[in-house]
């Protein structure tokens, strides 16, 4: 394990974002997590439809994902869909980094990366829309938000990026 001086938010963010690309196994793991996250977010945007399609046959998964991606695009536009995709990719990066840090360091070293949880929750709830909020009794909350909830999605992604920048490369021990 190397010890390096903190290089600031920009260097830490680049290190955190590029870490999953250091090996093929990490890149594949981050990609799988990103795809699973995206599918989960899109399916939870219309839970009754998803349950109906998947309850009929698991073979309808691709149809459900395509239909709900089109619905998401129609509902929140290309910028909102881009935020959902960005959230899924950042979730893959964050979980890859947390997994590595858990493997290499003790539990106290994971404190920085566990700080991404608020960003995951904030932008995750905003990305899946009424699915999770409807279960919590706030079905119309996103509809009442300006820009269809895109500001909340963007704020969650910025929060996630902040904590990734703060933690940097999980293989290094940073001294501030």
- Mind listing the pLDDT tens digit for each residue in 130-140? 445 545 555 55
How many domains are contained in the chain? 1
Whether 2 is in a domain gets the answer no
Whether 85 is in a domain gets the answer yes
Report whether pLDDT(65) > 80. yes
Domain ranges, residue 151 = 7-175
What pLDDT, on a 0 to 100 scale, did the predictor assign at position 137?
54
Q: Collapsing DSSP states into helix, strand and coil, what is residue 106?
A: coil
Whether 1 is in a domain gets the answer no
Whether 23 is in a domain gets the answer yes
CA–CA dist 6, 103 (Å, integer): 22
What pLDDT, on a 0 to 100 scale, did the predictor assign at position 121?
58
């Amino acid at each position: 394990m190397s010890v390096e001086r903190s290089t600031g938010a920009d260097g830490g963010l680049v290190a955190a974002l590029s870490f999953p690309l250091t090996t093929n196994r990490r890149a594949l793991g981050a990609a799988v997590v990103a795809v699973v996250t995206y599918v989960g977010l899109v399916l939870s945007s219309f839970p009754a439809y998803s349950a109906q399609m998947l309850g009929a046959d698991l073979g309808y998964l691709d149809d459900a994902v395509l239909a709900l991606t089109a619905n998401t695009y129609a509902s929140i536009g290309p910028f909102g869909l881009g935020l959902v995709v960005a959230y899924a990719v950042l979730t893959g990066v964050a979980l890859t980094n947390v997994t590595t840090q858990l493997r290499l360091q003790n539990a106290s070293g994971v404190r920085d990366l566990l700080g991404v949880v608020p960003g995951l929750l904030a932008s995750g709830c905003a990305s899946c829309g009424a699915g999770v909020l409807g279960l919590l009794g706030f079905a119309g909350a996103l509809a009442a938000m300006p820009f269809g909830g895109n500001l909340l999605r963007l704020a969650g992604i910025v929060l996630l990026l902040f904590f990734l920048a703060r933690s940097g490369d999980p293989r290094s021990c940073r001294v501030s």
